Structure 1
């Protein structure tokens, strides 16, 4: 049976409740958000403060939020539950909504699979009559939830179109996954074994099936330039990736492209200097012209690489300015989620210390300049 808008809500069949009282049935007259999430899912964790806010904001109108942890990774249910409980105590000790735990797969069979939902986080809104009113990403709840509460959502053309488009998109993604799954079955063990020729063969097979899939395009360039060191083939491939990124005005594609040239963690000393800096200049200009959102996902990675380009070009002041701007964006306009802070802040802080040649601090964290900072600036390279 297909689960979509106006379908009866399936039951909640979970193994235990870690927060809040056990919910046996959906109560008539109340509305529920049933949120499928996992601790390893960054967007899921980022959505949790928003769910806390929605629970507080609409509690008096009968809203109940239920987080369903049905995708935790651990060898046994007991280990998964213990790990989840510890995580909740550390990250969200005062959570104001219920958390249910299921390791059996039953909740995914009842909710995720019949709705064609292939990823998390996924939010299901259960209306006051026990029927599904909305299925989708939690970022849409701010727009949809007031309309559901006012009883005008399910009868609207917008809701019907959104539900049809969602199912079409989820089915497209499912077909895509079916295509790429055999590719990754070859690619992942080859990458783990550092068998670059086998990995490259798998990537080429993937590109033959999905020529515009960015992950395949990135790996194609990365393997050629940095693993196989086939500069003759790799540079034209990177050049095409750059042209496509600029044509699409894509933050994601541009960030991937400049990281292959100026990520401080990648050894690029074997790349031809003139071509590397010409590509870096072109990409940097387009990236900065995009004016990334202040808290955009790719801003921190892109600005790190762009700053490295300016530093190696001899413009140390501009490099420092960009890293400081990226660090400022971590808390402004809203704080970055902690898991991302742990990924980006140490790298940015180390770059800042290297560029300044002195200790740099952000909050309580400090970094000293590395004894051999990667790739000192070259005053001969023009901007």
Structure 2
């Protein structure tokens, strides 16, 4: 049975409470925010200060926030718990809400799976009578929580519409995942053994079932051009991928296409240079039209891949300019803390050092040229 608005809240079954007093049941009269998160999830970590502010703001109104870490990466549960505890001590020593740890999968079975929630962070708001009032992203709390507290949210048309849309989207994603899993399993097993024809067969089956899935389409290009080095079969597939990316006006598709065309760690000696540059020009111009460098809302991700094209096409100054714009969009280096932003800066500095051919720094972070090698930012199969 689906977990949705008006459903009784599931129970809390966790292995350990790492911060705050253990919570065994939801107390009548209080509002609980149960958030599923992980230390490796950038949006989760970025949102923690906001949750701390909400906890402080609404504590007197009976709000209790509970963070559930149910997706930590470690070889054993004990290592995951120890790693999480140390991480919390280092990053959020002043945390003001509960943190629960669960590696058994029990909380996912009780909360995430029946609500069709497939990504983190996901939050569940439990109303004063112990029923679910809202399921969604924590950034929606600013709008939803005051209405939950004054009792106007659950009965509203907005709440019911949002929950209907959420369930429909979740069911669609669940069906897609069920279709994709056996294909991805075969694909990755074949990749591990470098059985490229078997991997190609799996991906082509995936495209036949789900032709609009970016992961399958990109893997198709990657296999033919970079693993099998079959330019005769791969070039038409690459051309179609570029056309579809532009026709969709999709930033993600265009970034993926550019990355397959210009990622420095690939060998392009078998690829017609003029056509590769022509494709890169088209994609880069469309990406920058979507995210003008002069705009106030400079987005990080498109700039490095567009810069790769400009650098290879001989426009070194433009490539450097784009990386510097991306760096500046992150704010003053003195204000940047640990975590995802530092990793983003490190990636950008590596681009900049390789383009300039010299050591570069941004605040305390520095990078030196490394013969044009870069870490991959993207997965190959979705």
5 Å-filtered alignment, 1:91-130, equals 91-130=91-130
> Does 87-96 or 270-279 show the bigger shift?
87-96
- Provide the residue aligned with 2:175 in structure 1: 175
- Provide the residue aligned with 1:216 in structure 2: 216
> Does 201-210 or 343-352 show the bigger shift?
343-352
Task: Map Cα deviations across residues 27-63 of structure 1 (whole Å, 9 max, x no partner).
Answer: 2222110011222333333332322222223223221
Task: Map Cα deviations across residues 168-207 of structure 1 (whole Å, 9 max, x no partner).
Answer: 1111111111111100110112122222222111111111
Deviation at 1:333, TM superposition (A): 12
- Provide the residue aligned with 1:380 in structure 2: none
- Provide the residue aligned with 2:80 in structure 1: 80
CA distance in structure 2 between the partners assigned to 1:152 and 1:28 by the alignment:
18
CA distance in structure 2 between the partners assigned to 1:232 and 1:170 by the alignment:
39
Contact 1:46 1:337 in 2 (8 A): no
Contact 2:242 2:257 in 1 (8 A): yes
CA distance in structure 1 between the partners assigned to 2:198 and 2:296 by the alignment:
40
- Provide the residue aligned with 1:236 in structure 2: 236
- Provide the residue aligned with 1:265 in structure 2: 265
> Does 21-30 or 320-329 show the bigger shift?
21-30
Deviation at 1:134, TM superposition (A): 0.3
Task: Map Cα deviations across residues 219-254 of structure 1 (whole Å, 9 max, x no partner).
Answer: 101111111111122122122111111122111111
5 Å-filtered alignment, 1:1-383, equals 1-291=1-291, 299-331=299-331, 338-370=338-370, 372-373=371-372
Contact 2:69 2:101 in 1 (8 A): yes
CA distance in structure 2 between the partners assigned to 1:71 and 1:212 by the alignment:
28
Task: Map Cα deviations across residues 270-313 of structure 1 (whole Å, 9 max, x no partner).
Answer: 321100110011111100000178777xx434211211211222
Deviation at 1:369, TM superposition (A): 3.1
Deviation at 1:104, TM superposition (A): 2.7
DSSP 3-state at the match of 1:300: coil
Contact 2:334 2:363 in 1 (8 A): no
Contact 1:224 1:230 in 2 (8 A): yes
CA distance in structure 1 between the partners assigned to 2:249 and 2:101 by the alignment:
42
DSSP 3-state at the match of 2:21: coil
Superposed CA RMSD in Å reads 2.3
Aligned residues: 371
DSSP 3-state at the match of 2:306: helix
Deviation at 1:330, TM superposition (A): 2.5
Task: Map Cα deviations across residues 344-383 of structure 1 (whole Å, 9 max, x no partner).
Answer: 323321221232232211121222334x457xxxxxxxxx
Provide closer, same or farther for how the CA distance between residues 295 and 269 of structure 1 changes in structure 2, counting only shifts above 3 A.
farther
CA distance in structure 2 between the partners assigned to 1:37 and 1:72 by the alignment:
9
CA distance in structure 2 between the partners assigned to 1:357 and 1:79 by the alignment:
41
CA distance in structure 2 between the partners assigned to 1:164 and 1:141 by the alignment:
18
Contact 1:186 1:202 in 2 (8 A): yes
> Does 143-152 or 39-48 show the bigger shift?
39-48
CA distance in structure 2 between the partners assigned to 1:163 and 1:274 by the alignment:
50
Contact 1:125 1:134 in 2 (8 A): yes
CA distance in structure 2 between the partners assigned to 1:192 and 1:284 by the alignment:
33
Contact 1:3 1:115 in 2 (8 A): yes
Deviation at 1:117, TM superposition (A): 2.2
Provide closer, same or farther for how the CA distance between residues 351 and 76 of structure 1 changes in structure 2, counting only shifts above 3 A.
closer
Provide closer, same or farther for how the CA distance between residues 368 and 16 of structure 1 changes in structure 2, counting only shifts above 3 A.
closer
Contact 2:116 2:170 in 1 (8 A): yes
CA distance in structure 1 between the partners assigned to 2:216 and 2:291 by the alignment:
27
Task: Map Cα deviations across residues 67-126 of structure 1 (whole Å, 9 max, x no partner).
Answer: 011233444432322122122222222211100112233222222232232332210001
Contact 2:14 2:107 in 1 (8 A): yes
Deviation at 1:335, TM superposition (A): 7.3
CA distance in structure 1 between the partners assigned to 2:15 and 2:67 by the alignment:
13
Contact 2:333 2:362 in 1 (8 A): no
Q: Gaps (5+ residues) in structure 1? A: 375-383
